[in-house]
A = this chain, B = another copy of it.
Amino acid sequence: MKTRIIEPDHFVHRYPLLIKHLLETPIIYAPYQQIIYRDSICYTYSDLAGRVAQLANALESMGVTAGQTVGVMDWDSHRYLECFFAVPMMGAVLHTINVHFSKDQLVYTINHAQDDVLIANADFLPLLEAVRDKINTVKKIILINDSREHLSTLLKLDAEYETLLADNPEAYTFPDFDENSLATVFYTAGTTGGPKGVFYSHRQIVLHTFCVMAALSGFSSQANISSADVYMPITPMFHVHAWGMPYLMTHLGARQVYPGRYEPDMLLHLKTKEKVTFSHCAPDILHMLINCEAAKKTDFSDWKMIIGGSVLSKGLCRSAMQLGVNLFTGYGMSETCPVLCISNLKPHMSDWSQSEQIDMRCRTGLPISHVQLKVLNEHGRSVAWDGKTTGEIVVRAPWLTSGYFNDFEKSSELWEKGWLHTGDIGFIDEDGYLQITDRLKDAIKSGSEWISSVQLENIVSEHPSVSQAAVIGVPDDKWGQRPLLIVVLKPEFRDKTSEQDFKDFFLEYIQNGKLSKFAVPDKIVFTESLAKTSEGKVNKRALRRQYIC
């Protein structure tokens, strides 16, 4: 294959794909557009650009050079947004620290990422105090303190964020460098093993931004996103760059609202006050939002919302749509920057009934631009797009992690045969929509049949008494494995709901062919809560430890 490669002469400028360029357009298009932090801060994109330069000057003055790592521990804030830009733009690496990690995980990830400087919200000082002597590489700590009151701490703090910025000039010449330079790193606990680091280059983040834009702005669907939207993240910025949306919405010059720590009252207050039109969140947060006290006084209409992180159940989708939320699914992983699929409806589906639309909105979705996605059978061959044949989902895209940070063996497993293995099982339907049916590790093999825990959980979510539910496989002498259903009932249904109620409920699904009789759990356990991972997902590994003796 000998194509003719363009080799520019030395005098030709070569244009690398760098995060700094994402910030250039909005400064021209929307310099007066607002960025809001809770009830306390409102500033413009011009201010953002000035503060990004101040932060870069400040970090440089504290000794941060290209190639060094800056760890951030904060809730979702305008300051985090400043770090999203300033740190990679100066050639340093942004480590977005998961503040839900245990102390051990925190120590492990900060040491493993070799953070040179930490920027930490006052809320996390007690945590940091407790582990400071186990952290090896951190030379300086910068405090973020919303209250601006004096703090008593045993930690040596080197600067306070706002004072630091005020002391530094609002101009900085961000240099050009290789677009494959490391921009961000963060850790995923996953459901097995210790935290694993994933990492992304400038090129990857820029291309991810554009391809998500193609899916949300270019392809006309149930919910198009543009610079006219008002954006508020409800997936943490430490979790896969809040799905990369802060980069996209900043590039578009949209109005943005950063809510700090996620408190239902504050989120709904900001939704109303700032007229938020676009968010993304996980099912449990959505569940909390629509069921909290403030929800009764909130107008949920004109709120486009992408749901990801775990499966969006049809029951939750219906409840939210009845309130006016325009919601649909996004699919991705920490390893994939993250977006792979979005459940955009095709034009002919706009005439469908709400119930048919919900089926599609809850689908895992269509692969976005530049995502190549295959479902492989046990022989490693692509299965037909028939809406039923399942297999492991593998992907290629320009923005997948090149592996796990300093872990050759797990990296080579992840990238077996040149495709990133998602560890998810699913099928593709005739229209090209992916549907995940299970995690590879969570799938239940019973006799010679696979039983989908996700399908069962989805059905159970439609039962009026259910707050949350999980299905795991438990050993069975005859069948190998059988499904066990674990249910958290809504308070008002406790002591009023029995195993038999669910068995009757399943009967309906069996009768209309939506569930095989074989898949009905033999046993149902009622409990008060489900174990969760630090990323807020149901922790099936913990459930298996708990329920399988």
Mark A residues whose CB is within 8 Å of B. Answer: 1-9, 11-13, 15, 17, 21, 24-25, 28-30, 65-67, 91, 93, 175, 177-178, 180-182, 199, 201, 207, 210-211, 213-214, 217-220, 224, 226-228, 251-253, 344, 346-347, 366-370, 372, 396-398, 400, 402-403, 408, 411-412, 415-416, 418-420, 432
Contact = CB atoms under 8 A, between A and B. Distances in A.
B219 A9 contact: no
Contact of A181 (B5, B211, B347, B397): B5
Contacts of A372: 24
A419 B218 contact: no
21 contacts: A1-B91, A4-B181, A5-B178, A9-B412, A12-B411, A13-B400, A13-B420, A15-B398, A17-B398, A24-B370, A24-B372, A25-B370, A28-B367, A210-B211, A213-B214, A213-B217, A213-B218, A214-B217, A217-B226, A218-B227, A224-B226
Contact of A9 (B17, B177, B346, B411): B411
Contacts of A6: 180-182, 199, 201, 402
A175 B1 contact: yes
Contacts of A220: 226-228
A10 to B, nearest CB: 9
A228 B13 contact: no
A12 B91 contact: no
Nearest to A229: B220
Nearest to A213: B218
A3 B178 contact: yes
A337 B286 CA distance: 45
Contacts of A368: 25
Contacts of A13: 396, 400, 415, 418-420
A415 B253 CA distance: 31
Contacts of A367: 25, 28
Q: Rank and list the top 3 A-B pairs by shortest CB-CB distance, nearest first.
A: A3-B181, A220-B228, A28-B432
A404 to B, nearest CB: 11
Contact of A29 (B21, B219, B415): B219
Contacts of A207: 17
Nearest to A348: B32
A196 to B, nearest CB: 15
Nearest to A373: B28
A304 to B, nearest CB: 14
A67 B4 contact: yes
A432 to B, nearest CB: 4
B227 A177 contact: no
Given A2-B66, A3-B177, A218 B219 contact: no
A332 B10 CA distance: 24
A220 to B, nearest CB: 4
Contacts of A11: 411-412, 415-416, 418
Contacts of A217: 213-214, 217-218, 226
A17 to B, nearest CB: 7
A5 B91 contact: no
B8 A402 contact: yes
A42 B226 CA distance: 32
Contacts of A210: 210-211, 213-214
Given A411-B9, A418-B11, A4 B228 contact: no
Given A15-B397, A218-B217, A3 B253 contact: no
Nearest to A228: B220
A227 B214 CA distance: 10
Nearest to A178: B5
A231 to B, nearest CB: 13
A182 B402 contact: no
A30 B411 CA distance: 35
Contacts of A416: 11
Contacts of A29: 219, 344, 346, 366, 432
Contact of A30 (B67, B346, B400): B346
Contacts of A227: 218-220
A219 B415 CA distance: 37
Contacts of A199: 6
Nearest to A420: B13
A359 to B, nearest CB: 18
A93 B4 contact: yes
Given A6-B180, A12-B415, A213-B217, 9 more contacts: A1-B175, A5-B178, A6-B201, A6-B402, A11-B418, A17-B207, A210-B211, A213-B218, A214-B252
Contacts of A253: 219
A252 B211 CA distance: 11
Contacts of A65: 2
A179 B112 CA distance: 34
